[in-house]
Structure 1
């Protein structure tokens, strides 16, 4: 399979489409008149997915850029398993041991909504937890069980799971063993999740971790790009701005750029005008 790239509206990041082929994965087709269809996306991984944009000194600054504004057609599945209008921070009641801010989820949802039928609803299911290695997401662990449970519960009022947004890997750059095992562990995780959710071609949009000073960063970045499964795509976060106070988490504006580019990768393959639809 040969990597290809999508044209971008921003020059700060290159959204590279590397794996994937036409499949029977449900697409964002336009529903019939007077029908509201819920397209559900799981948000998982660690702190950058949970959102640290705008968090400084243990407090979130409350700044919500236009790309993260609430919309009545963007819903969030709460920790209490209730659908509600989504608003930042999306993971406030999920990643409860940390202060959450802006992540890529709302920019993704707003970009998707802007390019599909207005009779649709985008549903977000936050599941990310900061500081978690890949082994913490393996089948049989509490985090994996919680993700599957929340995803299944989100379907009770209708809708379909359209994709997994995955931003992870920083914690696995600290150990050679974890870094070198990342590709195999990620492929196992995806296969297990597709099986347990009964969505065999579940699209996965994963973020290739930004640059950093961890010893095995390049090993993990390479592993993320080499995941060899159908309907798995990656967006490279290298070049996006990091917060100056920790040099590990993306700034608010970088999260907006990232979320939009993840949406463009998804829409290029599964949107209303995509070749797969």
Structure 2
């Protein structure tokens, strides 16, 4: 699918109020989740926002300061703050969920947590990245009542390129990822929390298939996988292009809508494994 009108630039929206979201999604992983779409060789973001990623009054983001604000690209600008962030999959995902009625008439909230260049061992329980993600996830629903407040609907996870750099990390990836899922669900008190992970499209050629096999092989309840292989890469052969990020966001939305959008008080087994 092409990105129609992707040469236009969009100013930040002037929204007087930010609705407290009821459908909350955690965005985490490394650089392709943080977004490098449109980041040029000289490490500047070109500012191009595809129509699928335009700001939407129904979509907000949790800032680094733990405040809800209107969501706009780059979603991770104050989270992956040591790198230049561009377009990622989050806005295209959220807009598609809203457009398709996956949140009803209620607001959607995104909680950016991804940090570029990070390995799965850096997301282990007790490590700073993991603990910060858990803290942000908890704060996203703080003060929410069953009648008025938000609910974490899914973790969307795109990580693994850093674990293709040596054989030991690649071979340990599946066990580490399964432990990560267990710990995150346990620490949030959500034992059936939906997890939508992305099978990586790039990495060290020697061990990328080991990591992809691990991602494709995870067989846990309420875990589905979207495969990024074949999506267009930038000249660095590592990061997805802006167009690829839009396509990935739509694929993630489809996975959520097909498997989890109708889930209410109790969770069910996903109807399909996407990888």
Asked if TM exceeds 0.5, the reply is yes
**CA RMSD, aligned part only?**
2.0
- 1:197, 1:228 → 2: CA distance? 21
- 2:27, 2:213 → 1: CA distance? 22
Tell me: higher relative CO, structure 1 or 2? Use CA pairs within 8 A at least 6 residues apart.
Answer: 1
1:200 corresponds in structure 2 to 191
Trace 1:7-156 onto structure 2 (pairs within 5 A). 10=1, 38-56=22-40, 57-116=42-101, 118-156=104-142
- How far residue 214 of structure 1 moved from its aligned partner, in angstroms, is 2.8
- 1:75, 1:172 → 2: CA distance? 31
Residue 107 of structure 2 aligns to a residue whose secondary structure is strand
Residue 120 of structure 1 aligns to a residue whose secondary structure is coil
Compared CA separation, residues 36 and 89, structure 1 to 2 (3 A): closer
Q: Deviations over 1:239-273 (max 9, x none)?
A: 100001x1100000000000110110110012249
- 1:93, 1:166 → 2: CA distance? 18
- How far residue 119 of structure 1 moved from its aligned partner, in angstroms, is 2.1
Q: Deviations over 1:24-66 (max 9, x none)?
A: xxxxxxxxxxx98610000000000000000001100000001
- 1:85, 1:119 → 2: CA distance? 17
Task: Note if contact 1:208-1:237 (Cα within 8 Å) is conserved in structure 2.
Answer: yes
- 1:269, 1:202 → 2: CA distance? 12
Residue 22 of structure 2 aligns to a residue whose secondary structure is strand
Task: Note if contact 1:36-1:119 (Cα within 8 Å) is conserved in structure 2.
Answer: no
Compared CA separation, residues 273 and 135, structure 1 to 2 (3 A): closer
- 2:183, 2:150 → 1: CA distance? 21
- How far residue 212 of structure 1 moved from its aligned partner, in angstroms, is 4.4
- 2:157, 2:229 → 1: CA distance? 16
Compared CA separation, residues 115 and 198, structure 1 to 2 (3 A): same
More strand as a share of residues = 1
Return the match for 1:176 from 167, 177, 185: 167
Trace 1:238-253 onto structure 2 (pairs within 5 A). 238-244=229-235, 246-253=236-243
Unaligned runs of 5+ in 2: 3-18, 270-275
Residue 152 of structure 2 aligns to a residue whose secondary structure is strand
Larger mean CA deviation between 111-120 and 73-82 belongs to 111-120
Task: Note if contact 2:162-2:203 (Cα within 8 Å) is conserved in structure 1.
Answer: no
Q: Deviations over 1:180-208 (max 9, x none)?
A: 00000000000000000011111111110
- 2:60, 2:32 → 1: CA distance? 20
